[in-house]
Amino acid sequence: MPKELNKIIKDLFVKHKIDKLQETEQEINNILGEGFLKKHTKEMFLQNEKIIIKTKTIEAKTELNIIKKNFNTTIKLL
């Protein structure tokens, strides 16, 4: 039963592309540090197959632009 629930939850994550969002968030944390997202971003969400990251400062946007070439997903910064 728990394995079936985990599989259903995993399928929902893949279906709604939440897994890509979590992978991207983890990669940003690995590269820029654990506190970067909390301190410098307003929100992070999916829209039209793209990951949208709204930042608080232009410096944070610049940092993300520098590293976004390493990601396999499309990221749009606002």
Distances (CA, A) of 10 to 21, 30, 36, 58, 60: 13, 23, 27, 35, 31
Domain ranges for the chain: 2-77
pTM: 0.65
Can you give the pLDDT at residue 72? 57
The pair of three-digit structure tokens given for residue 14, joined into one six-digit string: 């893949």
User: Which has more pLDDT, 58 or 50?
Assistant: 58
In this model, does residue 60 exceed pLDDT 70? yes
The arithmetic mean of pLDDT across residues 47-62, rounded, is 87
In this model, does residue 73 exceed pLDDT 60? no
